[in-house]
Amino acid sequence: MLRAIVSLLKTLNSETEPGQISLALCFSMIVGFTPVFSLHNLLVFLLVLVLRVNLSTFILGLILFSGVAYLLDPIFHLIGLAVLTSSGLEGLWTAFYNMTLLRLAKFNNSIVMGSFLFSLVLFAPLYFIANKIIMQYREYVLAWVQKTRIMQAFKATKLYNVFATYSQLRGGV
Amino acid sequence: MKWIRWQGLITFVVLLLFVIVAWFLFVDVAVKKIIESKGTKLVKAKVELADADLSIFPLGLFLTGLEVANPDAPMTNAFQVDRVALSLEGAKLLRRKVIFKEMTLEGVKLNTPRKTSGAISEKRSRIPVVSKESSEEKMKWPSFKIPDVKEILQKEKLQSLELIASFRGDLQTEKEKWQSRLAQLPDKNKLGEYQKKINRLKSGKQRGLEGILGGAREVLTLQKELSRDLDLIKTAQKELGQNMTSLRKRMAEVKKAPQEDLRRLKEKYSPSPEGLANASRLFFGKKVGNWTETFLNWYKKLGPILERVKERKHGREVVKPTRGKGVDVRFKEQEAYPDFLIQIAHVAIEIPAGLVKGQVRNITPDQDILGAPLMYEVAGVNLTGIASLKIDGSLNHVDPFSAKDTANILIRGYDVSDMDLSSDAELPIVLKRATADLEARVTIAGETLKANSLIVLKSVNMGTPNEEDTNSLMKALFSVISDIKAFDLKSEISGTIQDYDLKLSSNLDNVLKDAVKKQVKAQAVQFEKRLLLVIQEKVGGSMADLETTIGGLGSIGSELMARSHFGDELFKRSRKSGSGAMKLPL
């Protein structure tokens, strides 16, 4: 866990594309919010591994969103139930219900449907907001932190030297 | 291609393979755990499985060593199955439908002992069944021994004695009251003084008009005083008369009380053949009650298997998923199938008499979707001690609002041996041997329970284990019992599955009742005589005391009467003397 946090900090502080970090966060939101053993998550895992997104961010995001999901389950249930019982969409859901693949996806479960829709709606906004925050962080916070006396003092310590050497040896930035 | 990492694809495939291999390795353990936990939750007692094996080719599930503990007797398995083989429909499984085409249960045994307790720590919330057992236990065999009268009177309070004590107290108070009142009333001395005055007035000679007028005034004053005193005496006499009437009425009631005590105690303790009018209930009531209760307890446990809780939300049917959270919303299917279905189950149950084989069709909690009820039929195969056994019926929940479950039981030539009909210490009766034919039909429509059964017992041999140690009455009874060669037993259960009423009748009832009627009557007469004698002994003395006390009050009445007569006499004389005194010498 600590290693993942350090890794995330290093990533944030590195030259990694903000989009790679934000996308990892968005994917982790889908997997974290929806039940893990859902069919759509197989596709998400494939995308996470094939697309060059940051894995440390994905793992941390997954832990964070899974925890939040427990609190949001009643909301997911209400959203899912409302959508699934909407008379306007009945035809669509009936067609889906008769498709083997979608039955396997368990789309007719109120929590699966509610959490999936919830994360899908938040996907794009989260991507852009996270991008913006990372860029702002790198521009202002990181520069400010580097200049603080504490950081200057820390950089002067042997511990920092050891950490930096170790990071370089591990191929860190 | 900055955004693509192809090695990720390889990682994904490797991970996927890893998951598949892990699934193959652990699926059996997972299935075993799921069956055990779900079963335990359903039965509310331990459900254990020795092994589970999920096979892919052919798709099926094999379970071995299934043990289901009896929640009411945790050291016993309600049933155990050596091997269960289930064949799955793969195509339906992809649509999340668990459809077993066939299930075979081999080596089913009932009520087998367990090595460890099958109880679970969870508090069981048993649905209270208003059992008939308690009322059966309250029913006791009639006692044919003449009860000891002295023992009875030691534990029973005689109401007549209580009445006598209370009446005696009241009488004493009355007596004291009247004695004190009598003392306050004008007595013979006072009346004697009046007499003296009258004599004096009569003999006295008045001189002149003044003397005559003075004498007349004296006479008038005397008459007034005498009249007032007489009024006091007569009022008291009248009140005493009224009190005496009421006291005599109470005395009459007190005199009747011993008879009432006799009637009450006779009714309670006198030997009577009436108890035998319910012999069938005494013989079989508890057994039939226990069978009914066991049957109903298991029937209630079948509830979730027969019908799943379905709700309607926003006009759509929703069901709680078997695993996971939220609800599953159902939509119209092109080919409607229940989520879980065992199309046919072949059962072979090993009972002490041999093997019972049969089939159960359409096991599903979604009968409304399947459109067919659960049907079952089992029959005995070459049973020892049972000529034929057949049980069939249906559990119809196709329309959950008019659910109807039926069971038909037909047993022919069942050899009964050494069945305790009565474990009563005074009247132990054993059905040593008989051949029974049973026909029963049970219907449960919603909550309403209705069951009828007829058992015909032939070649009957009944008796008692200790025939020497009995009195003449019981000997007569046992003689009749040993002569009985056949009898029938009819039972009728009606009510709800929570609160039902059990009625039992048999031609045995009248046979037993008639057999002991004469002897019991003679014993009752003897008992009555003894009881009356002892009651009279206890009450007789007190009753005589009461009579004496009332007599004492009577003497007060006589005294009052005497005073009243004397007063009247004086009053008459005073008038005569008065008129003489008023006679003017003109």
Q: How large is the average pLDDT for residues B123-152? A: 58
Q: Of A50, A73, A87, which has the smallest distance from its Cβ to B4's Cβ?
A: A50
CB atoms within 10 A of CB A130: 21
Residue B134 clears pLDDT 60, i.e. is over it: no
For residue A160, pLDDT beyond 70: yes
Instruction: Give the residue with greater pLDDT, A17 vs A116.
Output: A116
Residues A54-78: tens digit of each pLDDT:
888 899 999 999 999 989 999 999 9
Which residues 6+ apart lie within 8 Å of B321 measured at CB?
Answer: A109, B327, B328
CB atoms within 10 A of CB B118: 22
How many Cβ atoms sit within 10 Å of the Cβ of residue B246? 11
Nearest-angstrom CA–CA distance, A42 and B98: 23
DSSP B444-469: EETTEEEEEEEEEEEEEEEE-S-SSS
Which of B165-179, B375-389, B422-436, B453-467 has the largest mean confidence? B375-389
By the CB < 8 Å criterion, does B5 face chain A? yes
Chain position carrying tokens 């192809």 = B6
Segment holding B557, helix H or strand E: helix B508-582
Place of tokens 């991970």: B15
Question: What are the extents of the domains in chain B?
Answer: 13-116, 149-272+530-580, 276-332+387-517
Task: List, in sequence order, every residue forming a beta bridge with B451; answer none if it has no partner.
Answer: B442, B493
Q: Which of B122-126, B248-252, B321-325, B545-549 has the lowest mean pLDDT?
A: B122-126
Mean pLDDT of chain A: 85
pLDDT of B352 strictly over 60: yes
Q: What is the pLDDT of residue B205?
A: 60
Element (H, E) at B416: strand B404-422
Q: Taking residues B4-22, what's their average pLDDT?
A: 90
Tell me the pLDDT band of A1, cut-offs 50, 70 and 90: low
* Per-residue pLDDT reduced to its tens digit, B18-38: 999 998 899 999 999 998 998
How confident is the model over B52-72, as a mean pLDDT? 90
- Give the whole-angstrom CA distance, residue B463 versus residue B418: 10
Q: Which residues of B332-370 are buried (b: 16+ CB within 10 A; e: fewer)?
A: eeeeebbbbbbbebebbbbbeebebebebebbbbbbbbb
Cα separation of B305 and B577, whole Å? 116
pLDDT at B297: 81
C-alpha distance from B326 to closest chain A C-alpha (Å): 5
Is B326 within 8 Å of A90 when comparing Cβ atoms?
no
**B17-31 burial code (b ≥16 CB/10 A, e <16):** eeeeeeeeeeebeeb
B8 touches chain A (CB under 8 A): yes
Identify the pLDDT of residue B127.
47
Give Cα A143 distance to the centre of its chain: 25
Q: What is the pLDDT of residue A173?
A: 37
How is residue B219 written in tokens? 């006479």
Residue B497 burial (CB count, 10 A)? 18
pLDDT at position B308 over 80: no
The residue of chain A with its CA nearest to that of B333 is: A98
Cβ-Cβ contacts under 8 Å, A103 against chain B: 94-96
- Read off the pLDDT of each residue in B441-452 and give the average, rounded to a whole number: 92
Q: Nearest-CA residue of chain B relative to A82?
A: B314
How many other β-carbons are positioned within 10 Å of the β-carbon of residue A60?
A: 19
**Confidence at residue B277, expressed as pLDDT on a 0 to 100 scale:** 61
CA-nearest residue to B336 within chain A is: A98
Question: A86 to chain B nearest CA, in Å?
Answer: 8
DSSP designation for B400? G
Q: For residue range B481-499, what is the model confidence (pLDDT) as tens digits?
A: 888 888 899 999 999 988 8
Residue of A nearest to B319 (CA): A109
Residues 6+ apart with CB under 8 A from B309: B319, B320
Owner of token pair 């979730």:
B304
The answer to whether the beta carbons of residues B375 and B394 sit under 8 Å apart is: yes
For residue B449, report the phi and psi dihedrals to the nearest 5 degrees. -110, 135
DSSP run (H or E) holding B506: strand B500-506
- Calpha distance B116→B367 (Å, rounded): 37
The DSSP string of chain A is -HHHHHHHHHHHHSS--HHHHHHHHHHHHHHHHS-TT-HHHHHHHHHHHHBT--HHHHHHHHHHHHHHHHHHHHHHHHHHHHHHT-GGGHHHHHHHHT-HHHHHTTTTBHHHHHHHHHHHHHHHHHHHHHHHHHHHIIIIIHHHHHHSHHHHHHHTSHHHHHHHHHHHHTT--
The pLDDT assigned to B577 comes to: 60
Half-sphere exposure of B352 (CA within 13 A, CB side): 5
Q: Taking an 8 Å Cβ-Cβ cutoff, which residues of chain A contact chain B?
A: 17, 20, 35, 42, 45-46, 48-52, 73, 76-77, 80-82, 84-87, 90, 93-94, 97-98, 100, 103-104, 106, 108-112, 114
Q: What angle is formed at CA B67 by the lines to CA B65 and CA B73, rounded to 5 degrees?
A: 155
| Minimal CA separation from A127 to chain B, in Å | 16
The token pair that represents B19 in the structure block = 């998951």
**Interface check B327 vs A, CB under 8 A:** yes
CA distance B326 to A109: 6
Q: Distance between CA B442 and CA B445 in Å, rounded?
A: 10
Nearest-by-CA chain B residue for A43 = B12
Tokens describing residue A78:
């209400």
Asked if the Cβ–Cβ distance from B329 to A85 is below 8 Å, we say yes
Task: With CB atoms and an 8 Å threshold, state whether B325 touches A77.
Answer: yes
Contact A111 B324 (CB under 8 A): yes
Q: Give the rounded percent of residues in chain B with a pLDDT score beyond 90.
A: 25
pLDDT of A28 over the 90 cut: yes
> For chain B, give me the number of helices (H) and strands (E)?
12, 16
Query: Residue B41: its pLDDT value, please?
Result: 84
What secondary structure letter does DSSP report for B229? H
Averaged pLDDT score across all residues of chain B: 83
Residues 6+ apart with CB under 8 A from B97: B89, B337, B338, B339, B340, B341
Mean pLDDT on A146-164: 76
Q: Could you read off the pLDDT of B237-296 as tens digits, one per residue?
A: 899 889 888 988 988 888 888 888 888 888 888 776 666 666 777 778 888 888 888 888
Of residues B511 and B407, the one with the higher pLDDT is B407
Share of chain B above pLDDT 70, in %: 86
Helix (H, G, I), strand (E, B) or coil at B575: helix
Q: Hey, which residues does B311 pair with through a beta bridge?
A: B318
Which tokens in the block code for residue B208? 């002149």
ipTM, 2 decimals? Answer: 0.78
pLDDT (tens digit, 9 = 90+) per residue, A105-120? 989 999 999 999 999 9
